């Protein structure tokens, strides 16, 4: 099932058993999960990577077209250098271990954000994964790397300005086309784990009409069953998009 471009207009009202085309997750709680078990933070990140694998599988089985994961924000550079190095090591390991399996399963890997800021070998691995899976169409795994939504919107405006568009021609559809997510379906459901209730500079524009779901479950404990529960919750909601 291939993803179709986003639209500035909200999608038709849905619910009553509908499966969201595009689900995004703020994967929060790895550190607290590890601390509760007396483990180093990197152990929480490793468990979080396994949770991502389970959730991706469940999303594909449910018919979700695109799963977007907030893997590394532009604010994460403020973390200790040792933790950043651990995260980069996990990213290397995940790509090397999972790339061919994802390719065989028809999953396209897309990256939003500016991963060129990573170490050259990591950036190259990411580029290789994107190129290797570019022709796949069963599902899209979108990974936000060095991503911040405000910076994305600034880049979009800069792109439009570089095209010398007259102000009157810049509308919502034009901005949509200039965003990193231009080729993805509209965002239907945004989930945040670990009990926090904020978007943390993630998909601010795209979330305008998304359903939001906040859960106390720490990310390493969020699995296929938890995702299916979230999809069931979504299916029971009535989405009016400002209408009656």
Instruction: Please check if 77 is assigned to a binding site.
Output: yes
Instruction: Please check if 30 is assigned to a binding site.
Output: yes
Distance between CA 94 and CA 88 in Å, rounded?
A: 10
pLDDT in tens, 153-165: 999 999 999 998 8
Distance between CA 108 and CA 176 in Å, rounded?
A: 21
pLDDT in tens, 33-88: 999 999 999 999 999 999 999 999 999 999 999 999 999 999 999 999 999 999 99
Instruction: Please check if 108 is assigned to a binding site.
Output: no
Angle at which helix 41-62 crosses helix 224-235, to 10 degrees, equals 50
Catalytic residue among 76, 114, 201, 233: 76
Instruction: Please check if 33 is assigned to a binding site.
Output: yes
Domains of the chain: residue spans and CATH = 22-210+223-235 (3.40.1180.10)
Burial (0-12, 13-18, 19+ Cβ within 10 Å), 154: exposed
Instruction: Please check if 149 is assigned to a binding site.
Output: no
Catalytic residue among 28, 86, 176, 188: 28
76 as an active site residue: the answer is yes
Instruction: Please check if 29 is assigned to a binding site.
Output: yes
28 as an active site residue: the answer is yes
pLDDT in tens, 24-45: 999 999 999 999 999 999 999 9
Pairing of strands 107-112, 22-26: unpaired
């Amino acid at each position: 099932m291939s993803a179709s471009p986003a639209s500035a207009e909200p999608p038709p009202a849905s619910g009553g058993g509908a499966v969201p085309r595009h689900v995004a997750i703020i994967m929060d709680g790895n550190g607290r999960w590890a601390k509760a078990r007396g483990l180093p933070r990197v152990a929480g990140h490793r468990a979080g990577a396994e949770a991502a694998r389970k959730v991706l599988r469940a999303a594909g089985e449910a018919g979700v077209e695109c799963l977007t994961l907030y893997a590394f924000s532009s604010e994460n550079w403020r973390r200790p250098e040792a933790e950043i190095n651990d995260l980069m090591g996990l990213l290397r390991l995940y790509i090397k271990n999972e790339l061919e399996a994802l390719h065989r399963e028809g999953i396209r890997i897309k990256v939003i954000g500016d991963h060129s800021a990573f170490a050259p070998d990591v950036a190259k691995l990411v580029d290789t994964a994107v190129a290797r899976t570019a022709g796949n169409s069963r599902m899209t795994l979108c990974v936000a790397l060095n991503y911040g939504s405000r910076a994305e919107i600034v880049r979009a405006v800069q792109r439009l300005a570089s095209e010398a568009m007259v102000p009157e021609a810049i509308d919502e559809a034009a901005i949509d086309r200039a965003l990193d997510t231009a080729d993805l379906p509209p965002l239907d459901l945004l989930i945040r784990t670990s009990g926090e209730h904020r978007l943390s500079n993630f998909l601010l524009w795209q979330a305008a009409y998304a359903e939001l779901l906040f859960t106390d479950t720490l990310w390493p404990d969020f699995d296929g069953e938890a995702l299916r529960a979230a999809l069931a919750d979504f299916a029971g909601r009535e989405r009016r998009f400002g209408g009656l």
